[in-house]
Structure 1
Amino acid sequence: MKILSWYALCVRSGYEDLVESLILRDLNETLVSVLVPKKTVPEKRKGHFKWVTRKLLPGYILINTSMDAKMYYKLKEIPNCYNFLNKFQDDDDIYFLEIPDQEITPIIQLLNDRGTIECSEAYFEGSKVIVKSGPLKGREGIIRRIDKRKKRAKLLLNFLGDTKMIDVGVEFLSSQKLE
């Protein structure tokens, strides 16, 4: 039995969904599962907020597979795929780097079954943010900054040894809605 691990595939920005469908079409679905993580965030257009879905990691696709040279070259043949995210060193022959479980698990826990981080509902109790519902409930510790005007929370997540600041949507409840 082969052990499945997560890898990040660099793809042409804007073509993540197309590359995902090509991978699932060309490769056996039992050999690989593909995730294009997304987030639902508010954007203000003409004075009104509209909830839109954006890519969480533009230009990247997360792949869960048992990686070997054969799988590596099959994935590299897919159009609009550039390379796997890795940390090249002069003496390395490794062209792909496994994403450690402690880095991929927090991202996957925030996603719903469609691979999207939905909006959370939160309120302020003094200067502290309390998340009432949504993917951030119980994970207030990863929230680094709140922008009430833009209805967004900035999260600090580790990804392949690098710390990334990610915006997610938050709906702030008034005191009337809490009761």
Structure 2
Amino acid sequence: MSTPENEIESPEIGDETPEATQPETAAPEAAPEPVDPVAQLRAELRRLPGEWYVIHSYAGYENKVKTNLETRVQNLDVGDYIFQVEVPIEEVTEIKNGQPKKVNRKVLPGYILVRMELNDESWSAVRNTPGVTGFVGMTSRPSPLTIKEVVQFLMPRAEVRKAEAAKAAAAAGESVEAAIAASSNLVEVDFEVGESVTVMDGPFATLPASISEVNTEQRKVKVLVSIFGRETPVELGFNQVEKL
């Protein structure tokens, strides 16, 4: 019996059915690169008007001079030429009397940074500010700082270390957080080679000594203690000596 022409033949058992397509799995997104604060500050500085100059003052009077200059800018109405006055500071951990202590320290003792457009009016306003002894550079035409120099002074060194540590860790595929934490543990030590101290602990307590080595990583100093008329090297912790 013949099959009608308009009848659809069913597929044979051996025929293959098309496989269902599986949805493609999206590739995991790459972790964002850590923000480089140094590059960020550099870009910001390039957008600001004026250039940065350094003025000299007396050590210890930097903040007073900053206030004096900002007041003169308002009184003399030279805000169109003098834009910003900065006394760069950084937070460091110093070892004083064997104990760590966070302190704010001036990056450039005796100097102030001024962002300004240099002309006769702005030069006179700055130069005649009480406490200012002059511009750094040529007296009549001081040279501005480079962007690299400004970043070096305005960006706290701790932040620079963190940025460098993060960049190195990212390149090596290591933990950025751990690298930043390690870079933050650096300590500024208030001990110097050749400095006289008093031993506060151990068998040589109360004896005067002279520092011959400072080991910041191990938080130790090597001192020379006079015993029976001879200088003997002794290794002590930061908390075992005290400055005279």
TM-score of the aligned structures, taking structure 1 as reference length: 0.58
Q: How does 1:9-48 map to 2 (within 5 A)?
A: 9-28=55-74, 29=79, 31-48=82-99
Q: How does 1:121-136 map to 2 (within 5 A)?
A: 134-136=159-161
- Quick one: which amino acid aligns to residue 79 of structure 1? P
Aligned residue in 1 for 2:104: 53
Identity %: 22
Contact 1:84/1:97 (CA < 8 Å) preserved in 2?
Answer: no
> How much does 1:94 deviate?
3.6
Contact 2:94/2:188 (CA < 8 Å) preserved in 1?
Answer: no
| Partner Cα distance (2:187, 2:71) in 1 | 38
Give the alignment partner of residue 126 of structure 2, picking from 50, 65, 75.
Answer: 75
Higher relative contact order (CA 8 A, sep 6+): 1
Deviation by residue 1:126-158 (Cα, 9 ceiling, x = unmatched): xxxxxxxx44222359xxxxxxx98139xxxxx
3-state secondary structure, aligned to 1:67: coil
Deviation by residue 1:88-121 (Cα, 9 ceiling, x = unmatched): 4xxxx7432111223223433x2xxxxxx27x4x
- Quick one: which amino acid aligns to residue 107 of structure 1? F
Q: 1:3 to 1:52 in 2, by over 3 A?
A: closer
RMSD: 3.2
> How much does 1:42 deviate?
1.8
Contact 1:8/1:85 (CA < 8 Å) preserved in 2?
Answer: yes
- Quick one: which amino acid aligns to residue 4 of structure 1? G
Aligned residue in 2 for 1:137: 162
| Partner Cα distance (2:186, 2:142) in 1 | 37
- Quick one: which amino acid aligns to residue 101 of structure 2? K
Gaps of 5+ in 1: 111-116, 121-133, 142-148, 154-169, 173-179
Contact 1:8/1:63 (CA < 8 Å) preserved in 2?
Answer: yes
- Quick one: which amino acid aligns to residue 61 of structure 1? I
> How much does 1:57 deviate?
0.4
| Partner Cα distance (2:117, 2:87) in 1 | 18
Contact 2:107/2:153 (CA < 8 Å) preserved in 1?
Answer: no
Contact 1:34/1:64 (CA < 8 Å) preserved in 2?
Answer: yes
3-state secondary structure, aligned to 1:53: strand
| Partner Cα distance (2:217, 2:122) in 1 | 42
| Partner Cα distance (1:45, 1:102) in 2 | 33
Q: How does 1:89-104 map to 2 (within 5 A)?
A: 94-104=140-150
Give the alignment partner of residue 115 of structure 2, picking from 52, 64, 73.
Answer: 64
> How much does 1:53 deviate?
0.8
Contact 1:43/1:150 (CA < 8 Å) preserved in 2?
Answer: no
- Quick one: which amino acid aligns to residue 55 of structure 2? L
Higher strand share: 1
- Quick one: which amino acid aligns to residue 96 of structure 1? P
> How much does 1:41 deviate?
1.6
3-state secondary structure, aligned to 1:64: strand
The higher radius of gyration belongs to 2
TM-score of the aligned structures, taking structure 2 as reference length: 0.43
